């Protein structure tokens, strides 16, 4: 049973969406009104802000849910319903969904770096591209979540996406580390066929008019490519969160909060991404784990694998892969320093 149906909580969705749009308007219209290179310090501060906002929302959501569960006769009428335990479970589902989406978003960050390098997008203009890219991602994610809320009611759909996540995770284990060749990418080739692409960056403009013809700039092509790749990533990330909770409201809010901090996370990690060589194994393990939940584990545990165990397992998988990346990178640097200098 769905505790937060859209019919009863439409006002929550509307209010949350209004809050997100207000925050984005404040971000672009006030804090990033003037194009500038986002420093590591600034990006780290914004990353902390977005994570703090998510955690504050999680706590307030817990208090609200607890008050509803403790007073609403419709919930109290449910046999063996525990208001306090259920409220804590809801809060843990949000937190776990947020951690999963935040972790899987690391793949997006690597794509950001490749795309910006390929199109030669200066760092000073990257924030604007990402801002509109994130805004588009929010819209597409909302659509995917709405579709998922309907489709995930069918066991065969759950099984299909569970198997897909497991296969994706296994493929990620054996994927190479070489950068993708965007010249051969079907999205780039398609855009070149349907758009007049101006070869130069024209400030922050997405479109330019030359000799009576409208051209799209490399900024716009990069934006469209990022939108398309996010749609592809959503095929993995949205079902992954539905493996943790059946509540569309929790999937929606945790997903959106994770995406909101994606820009600052990119600028924070852009200079140190090469140090996280082993994080892909952690991400692959997370995909296999949540796929296993959908295919087998949830049914094996009476319909739902314990959410507290899920959070602990996911945190361990991601944390250990990050720790391994840092330790091995440090060890390699120390080994290089100890190598004897050769005479010319």
Q: Give a yes or no: residue 216 inside a domain.
A: no
* Chain mean position to CA 269: 15
- Measured distance CA(128)–CA(267) in Å, rounded: 12
> pLDDT tens-digit profile of 5-49?
888 888 999 999 898 888 888 776 666 667 677 777 888 888 898
User: Domain count of the chain?
Assistant: 1
In a domain, 305, yes or no: yes
Q: Cα 309–311–314 angle (5° rounding)?
A: 105
Coil, strand or helix: which one is 214? strand
Calpha distance 114→110 (Å, rounded): 6
Q: How many CB atoms lie within 10 A of CB 182?
A: 15
Looking at residue 340, what is its pLDDT?
Answer: 59
Is residue 121 predicted with pLDDT exceeding 60?
A: yes
pLDDT digits (tens, 9 = 90+) for 272-286: 666 777 888 888 888
Q: What separation in angstroms does the CA of 277 have from each of 55, 116, 322?
A: 28, 20, 9
Give the Cα separation of 202 and 59 in Å (integer): 45
Average pLDDT in the 262-267 region? 83
- Please determine, for residue 208, whether its predicted confidence score (pLDDT) is greater than 70: yes
CA neighbor of 104 nearest in space, from 225, 235, 224 = 235
Within 10 Å of residue 150's Cβ, how many Cβ atoms?
10
Q: What percentage of the chain exceeds 90 in pLDDT?
A: 10
d(CA 221, CA 206): 8
CA nearest neighbour of 109 among 235, 253, 274 = 274
Nearest CA to 145 out of 269, 235, 16, 258 is that of 235
Which of 133, 131, 130, 121 has its CA nearest to residue 29? 131
Count CB-CB contacts under 10 A for residue 66.
17
Please, are residues 147 and 234 in contact by the beta-carbon 8 Å criterion? no
Which pLDDT value is given to residue 11? 92
CA 8 to CA 249: how far, in whole Å?
Answer: 11
Does residue 264 fall inside a structural domain?
yes
**Which is nearest to 237 in space by CA: 73, 35, 98, 46?**
98
Average pLDDT over residues 250-271: 84
**Quick count: other Cβ atoms within 10 Å of Cβ 312?**
12
Structure tokens at 248: 């569309």
131 by Cβ neighbours in 10 Å (0-12 / 13-18 / 19+) ranks as middle
Q: What is the pLDDT of residue 181?
A: 62
Residue scoring higher pLDDT (157 or 336): 157
Share of the chain above pLDDT 70, in %: 91
**Burial of residue 256, with CB atoms counted within 10 A of its CB: 0-12 exposed, 13-18 middle, 19 or more buried:** buried
How many Cβ atoms from other residues are within 10 Å of residue 78's Cβ? 12
Model pLDDT, residue 53: 92
Distance CA 16, CA 112 (A): 27
Cβ neighbours around 155 below 10 Å, total: 10
Residue 208 lies in a domain: no
Query: From the CB of residue 51, how many other CB atoms can be counted at a distance below 10 Å?
Result: 18
Range of the domain at 43: 6-175+236-334
Residue 64 included in any domain: yes
Asked if the structure places residue 184 within a domain, the reply is no
Paired tokens of 330: 């440090």
DSSP β-bridge partners for residue 213 = 210
In a domain, 343, yes or no: no
Does the reported pTM lie above 0.75? Answer: yes
CA distance 68 to 313: 30
Residue 201 inside a domain? The answer is: no
3-state secondary structure of 209: strand
């Amino acid at each position: 049973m769905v505790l937060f149906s859209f019919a009863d909580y439409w006002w929550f969705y509307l209010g949350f969406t209004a809050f997100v749009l207000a925050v984005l308007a404040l971000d672009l219209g006030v804090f990033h009104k003037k194009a500038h290179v986002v420093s590591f310090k600034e990006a780290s501060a914004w990353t902390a802000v977005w994570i703090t906002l998510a955690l504050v929302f999680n706590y307030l959501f817990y208090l609200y849910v607890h008050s509803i569960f403790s007073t609403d006769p419709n919930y109290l009428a449910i046999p063996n319903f525990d208001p306090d335990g259920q409220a804590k479970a809801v809060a843990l589902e949000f937190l776990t969904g947020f951690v999963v989406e935040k972790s899987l978003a690391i793949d997006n960050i690597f794509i950001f770096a490749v795309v910006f390098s390929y199109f030669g997008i200066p760092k000073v203009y990257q924030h604007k591209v990402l801002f509109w890219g994130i805004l588009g991602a929010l819209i597409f994610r909302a659509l995917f979540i709405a579709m998922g809320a309907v489709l995930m009611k069918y066991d065969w759909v759950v099984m299909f996406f569970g198997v897909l996540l497991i296969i994706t995770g296994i493929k990620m284990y054996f994927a190479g580390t070489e950068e993708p060749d965007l010249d051969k990418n079907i999205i780039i080739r398609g855009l070149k066929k349907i758009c007049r692409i101006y070869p130069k960056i024209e400030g922050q403009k997405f479109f330019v008019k030359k000799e009576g013809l409208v051209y799209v700039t490399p900024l716009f092509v990069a934006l469209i490519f990022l939108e398309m790749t996010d749609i592809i990533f959503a095929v993995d990330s949205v079902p992954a969160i539905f493996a943790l909770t059946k509540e569309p409201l929790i999937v929606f809010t945790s997903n959106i909060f994770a995406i909101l901090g994606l820009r600052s996370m990119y600028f924070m990690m852009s200079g140190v991404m090469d140090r996280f060589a082993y994080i892909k194994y952690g991400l692959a393990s997370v995909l296999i784990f949540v796929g296993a939940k959908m295919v087998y584990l949830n049914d094996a545990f009476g319909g739902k694998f314990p959410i507290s165990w899920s959070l602990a397992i996911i945190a361990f998988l991601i944390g250990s892969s990050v720790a391994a990346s840092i330790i091995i990178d440090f060890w390699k640097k120390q080994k290089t320093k100890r190598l004897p200098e050769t005479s010319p």
